[in-house]
Amino acid sequence: MLEFDDIQHMLLTRAPAITGRYEFLSFGTPAQGRAWLRRVLPIVQSAAAATASVDSEKRWVSVAFTWNGLRAVGVDEGSLASFPAEFREGMVARARMLGDTGANHPDNWVGGLASPDLHAIAILFARSEEERGRCVKEHDAFLAETHGVKVLSSLDLEATPPFDHAHDHFGYRDRLTQPEIEGTGVEPSPGSGAPLKAGEFILGYDDELGPVHGLPKPDVLSRNGSFMAYRRLQEHVGAFRDFLRQNAATPDEQELLAAKLMGRWRSGAPLVLAPDRDDPALAADRQRNNNFDYGKMDPLGYAIPLGAHIRRMNPRDTAANINRRRMLRRGATYGPPLADASPEDGRERGVAAFVLCASLIRQFEFAQNVWINDKDFHELGNERDPIIGTQDGTFEFKIPKRPIRRKITGLPAFTTVRGGAYFFLPGLRALRWISELGL
Amino acid sequence: MADRQNDAAARIKAAAKEGDWTQPRAMAIPKEGYFELEKGRYGPIFPKTPANYGFTIIAKIKPGREEAVRAHGMTLQTAVDGKPDCLETLKLHYLRWQVFPIEGALYFMYQGIIDTDFDKYTEDAVMIFTSLGVDTVFTNLEGFPEDWKTNPEAFIKFVREHHHPSFVEYGEYPFVSAVEIKKALRIKQSLSEMLDSMQ
Ligand code: HEM
């Protein structure tokens, strides 16, 4: 039985927010950090609370810590040592393996995210801009009273219009796919596979192999928690549109090329089910928009190229051990939208995303290391993920086509990593336990 | 000397990048098993050589377990007979298993030649072995973690700790993947069928 009243809401629910803000925090003394935590604790909702109040609620708050942050609030060394090595090392130390090199290197990250002083993140999702303003003012006021808690940086989230469906700055519809968790009562959409064991995402429950060993100690700290990889990915919208124009003659062909890179039309319709023409009705139909596989329906990638983003990030029936590699995605877009006709304005815009999982090394890091950046993935020879792979102009993208495939060489980088960190998102009981350490 | 070794290594790496299979190559490898430390998810990445990627796992067999180890030869054969693509994910060329004595004790050696850095698919390998039942060969080895069935990380650690990197590897047709070889053979086969049908 999942403890819905203890699990932080963002693990299990998606707030109907259109704005929000992340604040990246650094604590002075452990007592100061805990004083801050005691202040915010009452407004951190559980999944149960968020579900019950979703229609009336205007804002949703989550709190998570880096490993340095857990130490900074006074968690003891024995407990700190019981966390997995990759979390202890942090995202910066894992940069090379993750593909965060060149322009993506932590040396170039912004907002103090690469700093060991990054201790915690406060995540705000808000229903309106007005509500965000109110919450930020409130937090500022209370930070002014709470000594020794510093905001290293913050990031305002903005959904991009039109607001009737979630999409990124490139114009792709998002939030169509996610693994469903056994015990939540949510039926996976057709084609999405069976619900997964909660332990794949939430600590303290059986995972796909059964009981889980070696969880962080003490139990009260790890139970109902999750690990969270944060990625701030700038989207180079101008470069993306230039690329489409340079490589496809007509607007229709540009749409098809955009769809080939993703595996779905910008409407969200999957190419396996709508190979030649967009189908917005299919895109919006939850009963149909995931109802496909690759092995039987598109083995050679004539519809969705083997290297397309969604085919890499979830190879479905064409990967072994797939249930041990799934991830929950949360987050939002940030920065101003770039109007269709506008040239690149040089302002930063992108996706500020969280990947949640029970094991960073087995789920998130595997995805980065193999699915996103292994140039030989699916025997592709010289390709990386066209949307988020580490691209330096030397990789290609192949589009299977009869009689012969199309090969686009010298793919530019459409995204750049501007920051990232590994966080632990504790359950509410664990947050309370931390807040009372030393009392 | 070190410089000359590094130059030669750089040339071979360039050939590897181009996938130049036309010239046979040998590559001497430093004692650590790699030229520069590059960390994969679970530890250092061992480089691609003219014999591609690979591993050599050597471990001592528990007393009296030789027959149990050897019995796994048939387990693997049966598994692959029943489901020929069961090892596909591992991007293998060849596997070799041996038992041999050193000073009265018996050792198990397991070598594989593969097309991907082993670290990338470690968990998949463990899962596949588990599903085929050949994982239990390891329970006959000294130092193998008791809780391996539910603790895949311990399995991975054991494999890493018992891996002995090569100090030289040779390839007559270097850097070619198993998939490319199978593709070439398929083309040859189709070509000869075509020629036959033109008689
Ligand atoms: C700029 C950054 C990114 C953009 C624009 C982007 C865009 C998209 C879009 C439009 C979809 C299809 C909609 C859906 O299936 O819900 C998708 C799917 C997905 N993305 Fe991303 N994504 C980005 C970054 C990431 C990152 C960092 C990860 C994980 C490391 C990731 C993992 C996935 C996964 C797992 C899917 C689902 C695939 C499936 O189940 O079929 N994405 N992405």
- End-to-end alpha-carbon separation of chain B, Å? 60
Q: Are A237 and A283 in contact (CB under 8 A)?
A: no
Closest CA to B50 of B125, B2, B113, B119: B113
Q: What is the nearest CA distance from B105 to chain A, expressed in angstroms? A: 33
Looking at the predicted structure, is the pLDDT value of residue B1 above 80? no
Mean pLDDT in residue range A36-44: 97
Angle ∠(A262,A268,A273) on CA atoms, nearest 5: 85
The full DSSP string for chain B is: -HHHHHHHHHHHHHHHHHT--SS-EEEE--TTSSSS--B-SSSBPPPPBTTBEEEEEEEEBPTT-HHHHHHHHHHHHHHHHH-TTTTGGG-EEEEEEEEEEETTEEEEEEEEEESS-GGGGHHHHHHHHHHHTGGGGGGGBTT--TTTTT-HHHHHHHHHHTB---SEEEESSTT--HHHHHHHHHHHHHHHHHHHHT-
Of A48-57, A144-153, B111-120, B127-136, where does mean pLDDT reach its minimum?
Answer: B127-136
| CA torsion, ordered A99, A101, A105, A108, to nearest 10 deg | -140
| Count of structural domains within chain B | 1
- Amino acid type, A188: P
Closest CA to A15 of A358, A290, A354, A436: A354
Q: Are A212 and A203 in contact (CB under 8 A)?
A: yes
Nearest atom in ligand 1 to the alpha carbon of residue A327 is: 35
Task: Give per-residue pLDDT as tens, A187-233.
Answer: 999 999 899 999 999 999 999 999 998 999 999 999 999 999 999 99
Percent of chain B with pLDDT over 90: 61
Closest CA to B16 of B115, B95, B120: B115
SS3 category, A160: coil
Which whole-number Å values give the CA distances from B101 to A166, B61, B109, B163, in the listed order?
Answer: 64, 10, 11, 18
Q: Which of A94, A174, A273 to mutate to test the pocket of ligand 1 (most atoms within 8 A of CB)?
A: A174
Pick the residue whose CA is nearest to atom 29 on ligand 1.
A355
Mean pLDDT in residue range B168-174: 96
| Sheet-wide strand order for B92-102 | B53-60, B105-114, B92-102
Looking at the predicted structure, is the pLDDT value of residue A306 above 80? yes
CB neighbour list of residue A171: distance below 8 Å, 6 or more residues apart = A258, A266
Task: Give per-residue pLDDT as tens, A365-375.
Answer: 999 999 999 99
Interchain contact, A210 vs B116, CB within 8 Å: no
How many helices (DSSP H) and strands (DSSP E) are in chain A? Answer: 15, 10
Mean pLDDT in residue range A260-272: 98
CB neighbour list of residue A312: distance below 8 Å, 6 or more residues apart = A371, A372, A377, A378, A385
Residues of A in contact with B128 (CB under 8 A): 320-321
A181 pLDDT band, cuts 50/70/90, is very high
Q: Containing domain of residue B78, as a range?
A: 2-198
> Does the beta carbon of A177 sit less than 6 angstroms from any atom of ligand 1?
yes
A348 pLDDT band, cuts 50/70/90, is very high
Residue of chain A nearest B116, judged by CA positions: A376
Angle ∠(A218,A357,A236) on CA atoms, nearest 5: 135
Interchain contact, A210 vs B150, CB within 8 Å: yes
Please give the Cα distance from B114 to A74 (Å, whole number).
46
- CA A100 to chain centroid: 16
**What pLDDT score does B4 carry?**
67
The full DSSP string for A189-205 is: PTTS-SPBPGGGTSTTS
Mean pLDDT in residue range A140-164: 93
In the block, tokens 């019981």 appear at A82
Q: Which domain CATH number covers B141? A: 3.30.70.1090
- Two tokens, residue A41: 């604790």
Looking at the predicted structure, is the pLDDT value of residue B146 above 90? no
**What pLDDT score does A429 carry?**
98
Interchain contact, A369 vs B120, CB within 8 Å: yes
pTM for the full predicted model? 0.95
Closest CA to A218 of A31, A360, A429: A429
- Two tokens, residue A165: 């469906």
Looking at the predicted structure, is the pLDDT value of residue A134 above 70? yes
Mean pLDDT of all residues belonging to chain A = 96
CB neighbour list of residue A230: distance below 8 Å, 6 or more residues apart = A91, A113, A121, A352, A353, A354, A419, A420, A421, A422, A423
Q: Of all helices (H) and strands (E), which one includes residue A24?
A: strand A19-27
* Dist. CA A311 → ligand 1 center (Å): 10
Looking at the predicted structure, is the pLDDT value of residue A320 above 80? yes
Mean pLDDT of all residues belonging to chain B = 90
Task: Give per-residue pLDDT as tens, B48-93.
Answer: 999 999 999 999 999 999 999 999 999 999 999 999 998 888 889 9
The full DSSP string for A246-300 is: HH-SSHHHHHHHHHHHHSB-TTS-BTTTSSSS--HHHHH-TTTTT---STTT-TT
Four-residue CA torsion sign, A399, A301, A167, A64: negative
CB neighbour list of residue A218: distance below 8 Å, 6 or more residues apart = A79
Looking at the predicted structure, is the pLDDT value of residue A237 above 80? yes
**What pLDDT score does B5 carry?**
66
SS3 category, A22: strand
**What pLDDT score does B120 carry?**
82
Task: Give per-residue pLDDT as tens, A20-29.
Answer: 999 999 999 9
The full DSSP string for A389-415 is: S---S---EEE--SSS-EEE-SPPPSE
> Does the beta carbon of A355 sit less than 6 angstroms from any atom of ligand 1?
yes
Interchain contact, A362 vs B121, CB within 8 Å: no
B151 pLDDT band, cuts 50/70/90, is confident
Q: Is B33 left (phi over 0), alpha (psi -120 to 50) or beta?
A: left
In the block, tokens 């090199």 appear at A101
Q: Of all helices (H) and strands (E), which one includes residue A98?
A: helix A95-98
Closest Cβ–Cβ partner in B42, B127, B179 for A321: B127
Please give the Cα distance from B135 to B138 (Å, whole number).
6
Q: Are A126 and A58 in contact (CB under 8 A)?
A: yes
Give helix A237-247 / helix A251-262 axis angle, nearest 10°.
120
* Dist. CA A392 → ligand 1 center (Å): 21
Looking at the predicted structure, is the pLDDT value of residue B2 above 60? no
- Amino acid type, A32: Q
**What pLDDT score does A228 carry?**
98
Interface test with B, best of A376, A382, A395 (most B CBs within 10 A): A376
Please give the Cα distance from A242 to A64 (Å, whole number).
38
Looking at the predicted structure, is the pLDDT value of residue B3 above 80? no
